[in-house]
Chains A and B, each alone.
Chain A
Amino acid sequence: MYNVWENVLAEIEQKVSPANYSTWFQDTSLLSSTDDNIIIGVKNSFHIKQLQTKFIDIIKEALNNNHLPTKNISFEVQLTNKPKVRAREVVATPESLKTHVSPLKKSLPTNNSGLNSKYTLDNFIVGSNNDLAVAAAKSIIDAPGTRYNPFFLYGGSGLGKTHLVQAIGNELLKRNPDFKILYTPISDFYADFVNHVLNGKGKDFNNKFRKLDCLIIDDFQLIIGKDKSQEEFFNIFNNLHQLNKQIIVTSDRLPSQIKTLDDRLANRLTWAGAFDLQLPKFEDKCAILRAKADLMGAEIEQEAIEYIAENTNTNVRDLEGELSTILLMSEVRGLTPLELIQNGSASIHNNSKLRPTTSKQIAEKVAKYYNLTLKEMRSKSRVTNIKTARQITMFLLSTELSMSTTKIATEVGVKDHTTVMHGIDKIKNDLKLNFTLRDQIEEIKGQIYG
């Protein structure tokens, strides 16, 4: 249903002025459509009358062109919280209150939480790629529901998102045995919701979540498109947040990049900031391998660890995979891991990323990413996007190829190395705060290495 509405909007956009479009149409949505009736959702009641009187013909035409009913068009304000106005229905507040004041039920089966006790903070290796996230995790364990609520954790697959959030859950449970925690991948959340609705128990579903002290949602990016479960999640999110209950969400990208995600929800998810897990650096990889080997009780030479670390550039999961393969082989063949590597029997699976061949390749990929030609990017233009592209090229040439600033200057066609140094510093600084930029650079890197 979403797509149809997008089409309708696209059509309307061409017929009304941009100011009118952004004021009146931008926040609309299609709430429901049956044979004769169609309900359009709007931001607030100030919009209804206007759409009804001034724009109804344009809307009708656009609906018609998209084979939607035009007989009864009605508009509704989308309310996430049903406000009480004379409604005498029983509100669940007293209940949520009760669970808040008396969480002293002893018979809480912890295995209901969906947590796997093998994930702990002790076996999560902290490095510069994840120290911020771990610091936040620790502060959540000390004081759940306060500073980092919601805790939004994102990063590529195999970097330890699940491990970290499960570790938070396990630790919270250890310290507060009466805590009600639920860990669920968003897909299970969705399936559960559908089940409840099918059995006519939608309310129970909501209540089940209202009683939680901590809710952990994994792989949130998979919510894409499921707008009904989105709404439900939004309600649950609001309820828990109001009660200062800890909410933890992981995703492989930022909410703003999940295309069909409701803006309000996207905003709320990153209220307390977004924390990312990045690819580990060489030192971090060595530390991870060392810790894993110790955990398995295996002996491995430092050189062997460094070899694996150097040749695996994908993610932590692969790193662990390589390590266990080598350890297994060394056990089977009766050789130490280093001997195995030295006589060439251990070939690292070649899904690892290769170093890019040339500086030209980097420049080309950056230019392509920003829809520029190489010539445009190398020009002296001060237009913001060209300038940014140039600075990102400088940054990548420096970090990826360790080129000297003088060399970079000739490569991108700027006056001297100080401009390059400034450019690199600018990007480095921006990276600290600008998540979009960070993701863009990751994407470019992906294209370079892919």
Chain B
Amino acid sequence: MEIEVTQEKLSKALNNVSRIAVGKVTLPILNNVLIRVDKSKVSLITTNLDMAIIDYLPVSSSKDGVITAPAKLLAEFVSNLPRGEKVKITSKDNKTTITAGKYSSTINGSPADDFPELPEIDEKKAVVFRMGVDEFKNGISSVVIASSNDLTRPALTGIYFDTYDKTLAVAATDGYRLAEKKLVKNVQSEISVIVPTTSLQEVLRSISDDMEEIEISFNEDLVRFRLGEIEIISKLIDASFPDYRRLIPKDNNIVVTLDRDELVRVTKLAALFARSVSGSIMCETKKPNTFSVKSIATELGKNNSSIETEVTEEGKVNLNSRFLLDALNSLDEKTIIVEFSSKITPVVLHNKKNQDYTHIVMPLNN
């Protein structure tokens, strides 16, 4: 096997795939990257058996063949080579030699046969969605924050891709908050599957500025993301996601329109005094036109800030300030809407104009 490629391109591809090639002690081959040249098509592959990253690398010249070598070592070696240098990788008897001008090193690899075969998407049965990379990125990042890392509840460690009312929505919850984003409208297919959050984070990390479209293909037990030269395959989480739409309260009688930046500011101020009480702050509405945020720290003192806005009904609710800030950071319009109806019902937040995104924060009871 032989390839010749510029340092920049190789380094980028290696960095991209080597992220998941770590920490498997049981099967050391999983720490390796597989480089395969098949009819001048070069692919770099890593897997941790929950997901796999494949990067198709455009090269200037190549000879067919397969090698594997420790991914981290290779990535670090190449990234330290001078930029603009032509890098040549050749292999012989499981030994991989990398040469770039005066620099050269030989790495002992393992037989490529030991590298696991990857599952493939059954294209005939697949449900495929295509969308702009930016939409995808914004949508997924806005719900990822609400997903859980509690492994005892596997369903919550993923993002739920669910179609209803001809819309593809993504949702995540950790039991304390919930975020939903309507991602694609007018869809014909139906899916409800849970994609591991860790896999989606890899997808987000793989996105670079020059990418325009993402293609997502679902099978019953597998999902594939295609982004430019990169393919990410992941297993799905085998669990059922809670019927989350039931949690979103409708008909809230307290509806407040607020300036997002201003609410972020008063929440941050209140949070300073809320550290001793697990970040609990109180939001209160007073007629005719006051929305206030309060916090009390018994020894430290207290804080009270208010924002002038139209108020439909009086009421108050206790919230975790960190969760409120997370929610506000996930909203992106200048004007936002906060809705709730009592001390014990969840608080709903969304942008004023585009209401595709809904964030819910459960109240604290005290």
Contact = CB atoms under 8 A, between A and B. Distances in A.
Interface of A: 19-20, 22-23, 44-50, 52-54, 77-88, 93, 96-97, 100, 238-239, 242-243, 267, 271
Contact of B220 (A85, A239, A243): A85
A48 B221 CA distance: 11
B246 to A, nearest CB: 6
Contacts of B113: 54
Given A46-B118, A84-B192, A271-B152, A242 B243 contact: yes
A102 B235 CA distance: 37
Contacts of A88: 190
Contacts of A48: 119
Contacts of B239: 80-81, 238
A49 B240 contact: no
B117 A86 contact: no
A84 B235 contact: no
A18 to B, nearest CB: 9
Nearest to A82: B220
Contacts of A53: 117
Nearest to B122: A45
A23 B189 contact: no
B47 interface: yes
A22 B117 contact: no
B243 A84 contact: no
Contacts of B47: 46
Which residue, of A22, A44, A49, A87, has the highest number of chain B Cβ atoms within 10 A? A44
Nearest to B116: A50
Nearest to A100: B246
B50 A49 contact: no
Contacts of A97: 243, 246
Contacts of B189: 85-86
A49 B118 contact: yes
A23 B27 contact: yes
Nearest to B191: A85
A46 B193 contact: no
Contacts of B116: 46, 49-50, 54
Nearest to A84: B192
Nearest to B120: A49
Interface string B49-77: 11010000000000000000000000000
Contacts of B242: 242
5 contacts: A44-B221, A46-B52, A77-B220, A83-B191, A85-B193
A348 B50 CA distance: 62
A238 to B, nearest CB: 6
B54 to A, nearest CB: 13
Most chain B CB inside 10 Å of its own CB: which residue of A45, A80, A238: A45
B50 A44 contact: yes
B210 to A, nearest CB: 29
Interface of B: 26-28, 47, 49-50, 52, 113, 116-120, 125, 127, 152, 155, 189-194, 218-222, 235-236, 238-240, 242-243, 246
A83 B50 contact: no
Contacts of B125: 85-86
Contacts of A82: 220
B164 to A, nearest CB: 10
Given A45-B235, A49-B118, A81-B239, 13 more contacts: A19-B27, A44-B49, A46-B50, A49-B119, A53-B117, A54-B117, A77-B221, A83-B192, A84-B191, A85-B125, A85-B127, A86-B191, A97-B246
B240 A86 contact: no
Contacts of A242: 155, 240, 242-243
A52 B119 CA distance: 10
Q: Which 10 A-B pairs have the closest CB atoms?
A: A49-B117, A45-B119, A44-B235, A77-B221, A84-B192, A81-B240, A83-B193, A46-B49, A45-B222, A50-B116
Which of A46, A53, A80, A267 gathers the greatest number of chain B CB atoms within 10 Å?
A: A46
Nearest to B246: A97
Contacts of A19: 26-28
Nearest to B154: A264
B238 A86 contact: no
B190 A84 contact: yes
B72 to A, nearest CB: 19
B163 to A, nearest CB: 8
B191 A50 contact: no
Contacts of A80: 238-239
Nearest to B192: A84
Nearest to A17: B27
Contacts of A20: 27
A326 B50 CA distance: 65
Nearest to B243: A93
A96 B152 CA distance: 24
Contacts of A267: 152
A74 to B, nearest CB: 14
Contacts of A44: 49-50, 221, 235, 238
Nearest to A79: B238
A87 to B, nearest CB: 7
Nearest to A83: B193
Given A79-B238, A97-B243, A239-B240, A85 B117 contact: no
Contacts of A47: 49
A183 to B, nearest CB: 25
A243 B244 CA distance: 10
A88 B193 CA distance: 14
Contact of B218 (A23, A50, A85, A93): A85
Nearest to A88: B190
A44 B116 CA distance: 13
Most buried by A among B118, B152, B221: B221
Contacts of A96: 243
Contacts of A79: 220-221, 238
A50 B221 contact: no
